[in-house]
Chains A and B, each alone.
Chain A
Amino acid sequence: MQRRMILVALLSLVLLVPVAADAQKPIKVGMPMPLSGPPALFGDPATKGALMFVEELNAKGGVLGRKIELLVRDSKADANEAVRVARELILKDNVDFLVGTLTSAEGPAVSVVAKENKIVFIAPIPKTDQLTAADKLHPYVFRVAATTTMGGRSAAEIVAKWPVTRVATMSFDYAYGQDVTKAFVEHLKKVKPGVQIVDQQWPKLGEQDYNPFINAQMAKRPEAVFSSIWGGFFVTYSKQAKALGFFDAIKYNFIGVGEAATPETTKSMGADYPVGIWGNSYDAFYWGETSAHRDYVARLSKYLKDEYPSSWAIQGYIGMQFLTEAIRKANSTDSDKVAQALLGLAVETPMGKLTIREKDHQANRGQLYGKTVKDPQYPFAIMKPAVYVDPSPFMD
C-alpha cells in the first residue's frame, strides 16, 4: 500500500513538473549565424556578444519574468542553409523570434522566411540596402547594422575633406562591394564636385593575389583610394599592397570601409599593418567615449577572457538589446505586438542611443572611423581619434 502511495506521489510530481516549468518557460530566440568558413571570424564573436547579453539578462530575472533561451545554428554563410536553419528553428524548435545572419545574401533570404511565418527578425550585420528597401520591407524585418549607403557616404564625407582630386576604388565584384562603392562615388561627387574617379578595380570575392590589381591601379596614379575589402581579405590585400609601396605612393590617403581598422585586424597584422590609413569598425575596446561603453568592454573582456575583446560582439549584443526592449515595451511575446513596439524604439546601447526608424525599420547605427596610428599603450595600431560617425544626416 505504502509503495503504491509513493508511486502515486511520484507520478503526480512528474505531472506537476511541466506545469510548474510552464510558468518559467523561456522565450526562445533563434540565431542563424555563420560559425564555419571565413565569415565565422565575425559570426562567432557576434554570437558570443548575444550570449553574454542573454546570460546577464537572465541573471537579472529575464524579461517579463521569463528567461531568454538563445538557440544558435550555423548558417554556413550560405543563403540556402540560412533559410533551412531558420525554418527548422521556427518549425521544430518553436522559436519566438529570430536575430541573426551575417552576409548580404543570408539576410534578405531569411527575411522572406520571417515574413511567411510572421516572426520578428532582427538583422545585426548584413549591410545590403536590399534588406530594408521599400519593395522588400515587411512588418517583421528590422536591421541594427549599418548599410552600404551609410558606409559609402560616411567614407565620402571623410575623403571629401582630403586635399585630393584623383580617387580610385578597390572592391570585390559582388553585391556588397558594388553597392558600397557606388554609394561612395555618388556621394563624393555630390559633396566634392571637382573629384575625378581615375580607376576602379574589381577583384573577385575572396581574391588571394592582389598584385596585378594594385599594379594596374598604381599606373593610373590616384591620390586617394577607397576600398571595401573586408576581414581576412583585407589582411592579404594590404600586406601585398604595402610590399609594393602602394600606401607610400598614395601618401596613406586610403580609407578601408570593410572594417579595416578593427582591433582584430590591426592586432593580427602587428608591424605589417599599413599604419596611417583610415579605417572603420563597429566597435573598438579602446573607444570608451561613454561610461556605458567602458562598462560593456570590461564585462565583455571578462566574458571572452580576452584583454582586447572583439569588435563584432557588439552587433549580437545590440540585436538582443533591441529585441528584449521591444518585448518589454509590448509587454508580450506576440510577434505583431513586438514588431509594433520596435517601430521608433530607442535603446541606450553601449555605442550610445540608437533608434529604429519607422519608415524603413533601419537603426541609425553608425560606425567608428579614424586614422590609424601607433600607440605605445598597445602592441598594435589603433584609430586615433576613433570618431563615431552618426549616419542620421545622410541615411536617405
Chain B
Amino acid sequence: MPDPSFVFAQSLSGLTAAMFLFLIASGLSLIFGVLRVLNFAHGTFYMLGAYSAYQIVQWLGPGPGRFWLAALGAALAVAALGGIVEHFLFRHLYDKEELYQLLFTYALVLILSDVAKIFWGTQQKSVSRPPELTGSFALFGATIPHYNLLILLLGPAIALAFWFVLQRTRAGRFIRAAALDRETLGALGVNVDRLYTVVFMLGSFLGGLGGALIAPMRATVPGMDTEVIVEAFVVVVIGGLGSFWGTFLGALIYGQVLSFGILLFPRFSIFAVFALMAAVLIVRPWGLLGRPLR
C-alpha cells in the first residue's frame, strides 16, 4: 500500500479535477435546468474560451495580471456569443422536439469547431500559467502547484456565489420559477425570453471561463471541445441534470473515483467511472440529487 502522503496527493488531484469539471458542468446543468435543453455545444464554448484567452494573452503580451484580464475577457466574449446564439437561433427551438434541439446543438459543435480552425489553425496553442502562480508548495509530502490550488478554491467559491444568487436574489427566484413553470411566470409579467437569454449567457460564461482557466494546464487544440463534453455529461448524469448541488456532488465523486481508480486498478479507472454512471442510471435515472422529469 502506498504511503499516506501519496494517498493525500492523489485525493487532492482528484479534487482539483472535480472542481474544474464542476465549473464546466455547472453551466451545462444550469442551462438544462432552466431551458430544458441539453447543450452539446457547451464543450465548444469551453474550447472557444481557451482559444480566446490565448488570443487575448497574445495581444496583451506577458506581464503580471494579464492572464486574469484575458480569462475574464474570454469568458465575456463567450457569454456574448452564447447570447447571440440563444437570441437568434435557439429561441426558435424551444417548442420543437428534443431531437431537433440535440441536432441543432450538434450542428453548432461542428460549425464552431470549423470556425475556430479557420481562426487559429490546427497547430496546438499553449498559454503559460500566470507569473504570480507558477510556484508550488508542499503539504503533508504532496506537491501542490499554486495554480491547482486556485482552481481548487474557485470551484466552491463559484458554487456559493451561485447558490446565493439562486436562493437569495430576485433574479434567482425568477430563474428558479422559470425552471418550474415558464408559462405562469410569463403570465405574471416577467419577460421570460430575456430571462432565457440571460441564463444561456450565464451558462456560456461558465463554460468559457472554464476553458480560459484550464488553458494554462492543458494544450489548446481542435478536439478539446468533444473531450470535455463527455466528462461534463458524466458528471451531470451522476449528480442529476439540472440540479445544482447534484452537479457539485457528481464532480466530487467523479474526481475521487477516477483518482483512486488509477491508484488501485490503473487499467480500469475509466471503466469505474462509467460503471458508476451506469449504476446511477439504473437505480436513480434522474441522478443522485436530481428530480424525475415531468
Interface residues of A (CB under 8 A from B): 36-38, 40-41, 43-44, 173, 200-202, 204, 206, 208-209, 211-213, 215-216, 218-219, 231-236, 239-240, 243-245, 264-265, 268-272
Q: Are B224 and A208 in contact (CB under 8 A)?
A: yes
Of the listed stretches B32-40, B143-151, B237-245, chain A binds B143-151
- Looking at the assembled complex, report how far the CB atom of A312 sits from the nearest CB atom of chain B, in whole angstroms: 11
Q: Are B123 and A264 in contact (CB under 8 A)?
A: yes
B278, CB-defined interface residue at 8 Å: no
B270, CB-defined interface residue at 8 Å: yes
- Looking at the assembled complex, report how far the CB atom of B245 sits from the nearest CB atom of chain A, in whole angstroms: 23
CA distance A270 to B148 in the complex (A): 21
B-side contacts of A200, CB under 8 Å: 266
Partner of B221, one of A44, A218, A232: A232
Give the residues from 95 to 119 in chain B that come closer than 8 angstroms, CB to CB, to chain A.
114, 117
Given A40-B222, A212-B10, A245-B136; A268-B125 close (CB under 8 Å): yes
Secondary structure at the B interface, as helix, strand, loop or mixed, is helix
Partner of B262, one of A37, A43, A208, A212: A212
CA distance A270 to B124 in the complex (A): 12
CA distance A40 to B128 in the complex (A): 23
CA distance A40 to B129 in the complex (A): 26
Q: Are A212 and B125 in contact (CB under 8 A)?
A: no
Q: How many residues of B contact A (CB 8 A)?
A: 45
- Looking at the assembled complex, report how far the CB atom of B143 sits from the nearest CB atom of chain A, in whole angstroms: 5
Q: Which residue of chain B has its CB nearest to the CB of A214? A: B13
B6, CB-defined interface residue at 8 Å: yes
B72, CB-defined interface residue at 8 Å: no
B177, CB-defined interface residue at 8 Å: no
Q: Are B219 and A236 in contact (CB under 8 A)?
A: yes
Interface residues of B (CB under 8 A from A): 2-3, 6, 9-10, 13-14, 16-17, 20, 114, 117, 121-126, 128-129, 136, 142-143, 145, 147-148, 216-219, 221-224, 227-228, 231, 258-259, 262-263, 266-267, 269-270
A-side contacts of B126, CB under 8 Å: 235, 239, 268-270, 272
A-side contacts of B227, CB under 8 Å: 206, 208
- Looking at the assembled complex, report how far the CB atom of A77 sits from the nearest CB atom of chain B, in whole angstroms: 9
Q: Are B13 and A212 in contact (CB under 8 A)?
A: yes
Q: Are A41 and B263 in contact (CB under 8 A)?
A: no
Q: Given A208-B227, A231-B221, A232-B219, list of 19 further CB < 8 A pairs?
A: A36-B222, A41-B124, A43-B122, A200-B266, A202-B267, A208-B218, A209-B17, A212-B17, A212-B269, A215-B6, A215-B10, A216-B263, A216-B266, A235-B126, A236-B219, A244-B143, A268-B126, A269-B126, A272-B128
Given A41-B123, A265-B124, A268-B125; A243-B217 close (CB under 8 Å): yes
B-side contacts of A272, CB under 8 Å: 126, 128-129
CA distance A208 to B215 in the complex (A): 11
Secondary structure at the A interface, as helix, strand, loop or mixed, is helix
Q: Are B145 and A244 in contact (CB under 8 A)?
A: yes
Q: Could you give 5 example pairs across A and B, Cβ below 8 Å? A: A201-B266, A202-B267, A212-B263, A213-B262, A232-B219
Q: Are A212 and B219 in contact (CB under 8 A)?
A: no
B-side contacts of A201, CB under 8 Å: 262, 266
B-side contacts of A244, CB under 8 Å: 136, 143, 145
B-side contacts of A264, CB under 8 Å: 123-124
Q: Are B258 and A270 in contact (CB under 8 A)?
A: no
- Looking at the assembled complex, report how far the CB atom of A21 sits from the nearest CB atom of chain B, in whole angstroms: 35
Q: Are B145 and A270 in contact (CB under 8 A)?
A: no
B-side contacts of A38, CB under 8 Å: 221-223
A-side contacts of B121, CB under 8 Å: 44
When A and B form their complex, which 3 residue pairs have the shortest distance between CB atoms, in order from nearest?
Answer: A235-B219, A211-B13, A232-B221
Q: Are A270 and B217 in contact (CB under 8 A)?
A: no
B-side contacts of A234, CB under 8 Å: 219
Given A37-B222, A211-B16, A212-B258; A243-B266 close (CB under 8 Å): no
B-side contacts of A245, CB under 8 Å: 136, 143
CA distance A211 to B258 in the complex (A): 11
Q: Which residue of chain A has its CB nearest to the CB of B128? A: A272
Q: Are A211 and B222 in contact (CB under 8 A)?
A: no
